[in-house]
Amino acid sequence: MENLEILILLFFVFTLSAFLGFELIQKVPSQLHTPLMSGSNAISGITIVGALLACGVADANFGKWLGFAAVVLAMINVVGGYVVTDRMLGMFKKKGK
């Protein structure tokens, strides 16, 4: 079964990413807790990829409209998350002088 092969591969990717995620962040100074959270929050908007695929199909299925709603929501998450994080980090930078 070809599908199963893909799934095993995906699970492999998932496992390795999980370990990578744990290792990536070790000691975070507390002033970065909020930007780290809101910045990674923006990354979790990656579900936009799934939303685009669902929304962009040709047939006028109900799922297409669900996809449209998902695109709007995920986009708010992505754009809002990145912009707000950048604003915050901009303030931190200013006082370095």
Partner 1 sequence: MDEKQYIDLAYIVASILFIFGIKMLGKAETARKGNLLSSVGMLLAMVATLFYKEVIDYKLLIAGVAVGTIIGWIWAVKVKMTGMPELVALFNGFGGLASLLVGWAEFEFHKNTDTVTLFAIYSTILIGGITFTGSFIAYLKLAGKMSGRPTLFPGQKAINAVIFLILLGLGGVYIFQNSAWSLYAIIALSLLLGVMGVLPIGGGDMPVIIAFLNSFSGLAGAAAGFVILNKVLIVAGCLVGTSGIILTIIMCKAMNRTFGNVLFGGFGAAGGGGSKGVEGEMKGVSVEDAYYVLEAAQNVVFIPGYGMAVAQAQHVVKELAVMLEKNGAEVRFAIHPVAGRMPGHMNVLLAEADVPYEQLCEMDAINPMMNQVDVAMVIGANDVVNPAAADDPSSPIYGMPIIKAYEARTVFALKRGKGSGFSGLENALFFRENCRMIYGDAKETISALIAQFKS
In the bound complex, what is the minimum distance in angstroms from residue 60's beta carbon to partner 1?
A: 9
In the bound complex, what is the minimum distance in angstroms from residue 4's beta carbon to partner 1?
A: 8
Give which of 79, 75, 78 is closest to 52, Cα–Cα.
75
Q: Per-residue string for binding with partner 1, 11-30, x by CB under 8 A?
A: --xx--xxxxxx-xxxxxxx
Number of residues that bind partner 1 (CB under 8 A): 83
Q: At what angle do helices 62-94 and 48-55 cross, to 10 degrees?
A: 150
Residue 64 · residue 54 · CB < 8 Å: yes
How far apart, in Å, do the first and last CA atoms of the chain sit?
Answer: 61
Binding residues for partner 1 restricted to 34-53, rule: CB under 8 A: 34-53
> Is 5 one of the binding residues for partner 1 (CB under 8 A)?
no
In the bound complex, what is the minimum distance in angstroms from residue 25's beta carbon to partner 1?
A: 5
